[in-house]
Amino acid sequence: MKKAFTLIELLVVIAIIAVLMGILMPALGRARKQAWQTVCKNNLRQIGLAANFYAGDNENAVPRGASNTQGINIWFRGFMPYLAHEKDQRDYRDVKIYRCPAYPDKRQTVCYVSNGWEFDSKSDRIGREVMNFDGHFKVTAFVRLSETIYLADNEDGPGREIIERIDSPGINKCDVFSRDHMPSSDKTGTGSYQRRVSRKRHRRGYNALYADWHVDWHAALLDLPEEQAINLESDMWRFHKR
């Protein structure tokens, strides 16, 4: 007589598999997100190497966001020759390290925002946009390189434009020069003064490339009052630390 599973036994097996899947899936999801964070940090490290070589060839100057330079000197084009990509012959979208794998909308080609913020003094809490129109500023302006962010994860969601090409609308919103751009800011929408640094790209925080070209992860300070959190966050973008 042939032996076979009874319906009850089959249901028990299916239930056990379902329980195991319920246990494993969150762990697999966490592992995948951790891998994305590692890839993103490695991307930023390679960008940092390119930035270092670029500064060496350009009198210690590095490019910032597009502003009104129409993308000519924007960082992700300027660094291409230092990543084995000619900026005049190849499309910046071919450079895979410019894309964070954790960015939710895969059409996004600009996954990082750059520092374009200057302050008159340490007591200046507002600051202003860097307005030198060639799209560069000197690394030597950073008083403490290891404490000043150069690039960080770009925010996603409503109001944040998807940059699919160099002439996409919103290409001039890829730099940071306002308290409203900080990850603890609650400003959203379609204007220039909205959150630009991601508050939860990787766990509850974001990756950042510093001006000495090291990379670190930062938790978003969402448990603090908004004003206090933004004061702390903006200090990490302040390159005039007098």
The pLDDT of 48-70, averaged and rounded, is: 81
Residue 203 has what pLDDT? 86
Which residue ranges make up each domain of the chain? 7-235
**Among 167, 56, 71, which residue's Cα sits nearest to residue 114?**
71
User: Which two tokens mark 48?
Assistant: 């940092």
Task: Provide the b/e sequence for 182-198 (b: ≥16 CB within 10 Å).
Answer: bbbbebeeeeeebbbbb
Tell whether the torsion through CA atoms of 37, 41, 43 and 47 is positive or negative. positive
Local structure of 166: helix, strand or coil: coil
pTM summary value: 0.83
Residue 20 has what pLDDT? 75
Cβ proximity of 48 and 79 under 8 Å: no
Confidence of residue 114 (pLDDT cuts 50, 70, 90): very high
Local structure of 90: helix, strand or coil: coil
DSSP H or E run through 7 = helix 7-57
Residue pLDDT, tens place only, 115-156? 988 888 778 888 888 776 566 777 777 778 888 999 999 999
Question: How far is the C-alpha of 194 from the C-alpha of 214, rounded, in Å?
Answer: 27
Mean pLDDT for the chain overall: 84
Least confident segment among 23-27, 36-40, 82-86, 121-125: 23-27
